[in-house]
Structure 1
């Protein structure tokens, strides 16, 4: 795994745009030396404009500002948005710029799905929240439920080094980001260490050296669980090994609770996940559907001691194709707080899925159908990778000025 556990961190949970945006915009606007930002979605809406102003403020203070957006997730930023940033010296880049066929975006695979911010090497933000108004409750019934963390402490150095390496290349060679981290520590000093703080790791997934790191952290936590596993994930269609680990945990007496989308923003997601319900419920895994609004979170808690928050879903695109980033935390106080927030969600807005009553013949047909679809979906990343094996492009966004 590419993670390095470090002690002495302060990890703060930020829930939804209401909790996240004020903290990150304040930190960016006050930057003095450096802002590193990577995001899948950046829209020119109310939230995007607030980020825009914060970035301009940082640049005006003399900070070096780097912004990496995903070309598919953020395809239509107008010149009225990008030009003032470029004029202020902000370095804008696009990961795999969007390709269109008859107006439709076609290069969906192997996206840069990170949501990362590092300010002055002292504060970092990691999670699943994009820069768009649909992460605010005022957006209405389709506003997303989501989570992020603010990190203060030595783990920030790892996140900073990772983002700095991405300024040069989207997938650094083995050890490159760690060497840059050590070099930056010698130059800038070690971020503040908090006595009795959380032990945490920054875990990423790429298509080169770290293809399974996030999934392996999940599997290790699930296999070691003794009391409870609580996973809230927007797009849930993991591989056979993680499903097997969850079923085995439930059968040895661990309470396994899954919080999944009941009213998803993409209906096909629910139909695919429902193929797994019978298989999971038969092993005494408890499945809950969140019905208040679309669930966009990617979080988990095990035994009130292990927790993770990040960008990675538990589906084929996140686990096998996209570039992802999570923070994994070993800290009782943080894990309990996250668990309490998800429990509140379950109590207020979730409905438990019951095992459907079907005849033996229909049950057999459902099992066969589910097996065929499951293996087809799980092999999709392998098929898709055949035509997308090249190194992804990161393209600087150019000024329109003569």
Structure 2
């Protein structure tokens, strides 16, 4: 799909599940023609049950409803849950399902990590928020800090086309192709374009393992090189490639105010260790680093200067930049960029600890060796990743877990990792 700037869009920033879930569930439930949802994680907790109810309401109202879940990220859905969706006419697709020998899930490097919803080709949602209760504040100390955007305008048509192309590509490899096409509902024809709804220019950028292997990282690098005043990147899993680190250091040295908001209370222990190995290199170049300490940071957002920002699913680590299927929206709009920048400024002032070279202490001994290896690993892994098998995405009907799923807040970390 051609990457191009599309004008005439309107964006609303949605922070955490408290803002995101009510909007997306309401739009889905009121759908008249069509709902397409992609998500890495869907849990059978109170949020997953609300999504199920909204999807069923849309299907019973006459809309064609497709939801794609990742087999690695959403492994524990019961037959009751899936059966109720199927009975209402909802088509539930599982991305790259496969055998689970000894309960293991071997598709760690084959993940559909996108979070997208398109309703009636009129509104779309893109971001980093999964359909799980750990995106709500009442989940407790492990509740995630995250973002999504609600989109109106011509970009919705671009996202709609992408989602249907992804469904068609995945279904090309289905074993029960004839059954699925027989059950396909007719969609009323929609115009080729969606009328303008605002003043924002925007681009929908994805990453896959064939045609668009580095598009998201490339657009980050273009924006970093062009920045003249400020760069603020808030990212949950920060361990980018060598070029990325080099460009951040160059920006700081030419006088750009470069700030990173990273996890201070990570949901996985190694996350802070991996990022921390790069701290000395970045701080020495003048990059300012803030650790968000209220709860686990799950966001994947950035602001550059006054009118460029991005919100999406892509972390800045080897998994997202070299393996996962990801989707980000890049926005050129002064008002929306200011809204996101103000949110991140508030985060830095009220919920973060700034890391300094003095607080880190001298780098020597084993930490020095670790830092050296980590820094030079970032120079090599993109090249290594090119030699790994590039899988063909498959979509199959979602199958229930062989074991009874655990509900509510009792989910283990295995499926929730790096969502």
TM-score (norm 2): 0.87
Aligned-partner Cα distance in 2 for 1:81–1:33? 23
The question of whether the paired residues in 2 share the 8 Å contact of 1:317 and 1:381 is answered with no
Give the corresponding residue for 1:329: 331
Output one character per residue of 1:308-367: Cα deviation in whole Å (capped at 9) or x when no partner: 0000000000000000000000000000000000111111110001114656xx548655
Counterparts in 2 of 1:378 and 1:69: CA distance versus 1, 3 Å = farther
Moved more, 269-278 or 365-374: 365-374
How far apart are 1:262 and its partner, in Å?
0.3
The question of whether the paired residues in 2 share the 8 Å contact of 1:152 and 1:192 is answered with no
Give the corresponding residue for 1:49: 49
Give the corresponding residue for 1:116: 116
- Higher RCO (Cα < 8 Å, 6 or more apart): 2
Secondary structure class of the residue paired with 1:339: helix
Counterparts in 2 of 1:118 and 1:358: CA distance versus 1, 3 Å = closer
Matched, 1:77 2:77: yes
Aligned-partner Cα distance in 1 for 2:189–2:39? 28
Give the corresponding residue for 1:315: 317
Counterparts in 2 of 1:99 and 1:350: CA distance versus 1, 3 Å = farther
How far apart are 1:88 and its partner, in Å?
1.1
Matched, 1:6 2:6: yes
How far apart are 1:374 and its partner, in Å?
3.5
Matched, 1:285 2:287: yes
**Aligned Cα RMSD in Å?**
2.2
Matched, 1:22 2:18: no
Secondary structure class of the residue paired with 1:188: coil
Structure 2 counterparts to residues 188-203 of structure 1, below 5 A: 188-195=191-198, 197-203=199-205
Give the corresponding residue for 2:131: 131
Aligned-partner Cα distance in 2 for 1:192–1:252? 41
Structure 1 alignment gaps of length 5 or more: 173-183
How far apart are 1:188 and its partner, in Å?
2.8
Counterparts in 2 of 1:380 and 1:251: CA distance versus 1, 3 Å = closer
Selected match of 1:223 from 222, 225, 233 = 225
Aligned-partner Cα distance in 1 for 2:336–2:158? 20
Structure 2 counterparts to residues 1-400 of structure 1, below 5 A: 2-97=2-97, 99-170=99-170, 187-195=190-198, 197-356=199-358, 363=364, 366-376=367-377, 379-380=380-381, 383=384, 386=387, 388-397=389-398
Secondary structure class of the residue paired with 1:327: strand
Please identify runs of 4+ aligned residues in structure 1 that moved more than 6 A. Answer: none
Give the corresponding residue for 1:177: none
Aligned-partner Cα distance in 2 for 1:2–1:227? 30
Secondary structure class of the residue paired with 2:357: coil
The question of whether the paired residues in 2 share the 8 Å contact of 1:129 and 1:135 is answered with yes
Aligned-partner Cα distance in 1 for 2:299–2:122? 25
Counterparts in 2 of 1:215 and 1:96: CA distance versus 1, 3 Å = same
Secondary structure class of the residue paired with 1:74: coil
Aligned-partner Cα distance in 2 for 1:348–1:273? 22
The question of whether the paired residues in 1 share the 8 Å contact of 2:33 and 2:188 is answered with no
The question of whether the paired residues in 2 share the 8 Å contact of 1:171 and 1:208 is answered with no
How far apart are 1:379 and its partner, in Å?
4.2
The question of whether the paired residues in 1 share the 8 Å contact of 2:17 and 2:136 is answered with yes
Aligned-partner Cα distance in 2 for 1:346–1:171? 44
The question of whether the paired residues in 2 share the 8 Å contact of 1:122 and 1:192 is answered with no
Give the corresponding residue for 2:413: none
The question of whether the paired residues in 1 share the 8 Å contact of 2:240 and 2:378 is answered with no
The question of whether the paired residues in 1 share the 8 Å contact of 2:76 and 2:400 is answered with no
The question of whether the paired residues in 2 share the 8 Å contact of 1:75 and 1:98 is answered with no
Counterparts in 2 of 1:86 and 1:385: CA distance versus 1, 3 Å = farther
How far apart are 1:388 and its partner, in Å?
3.4
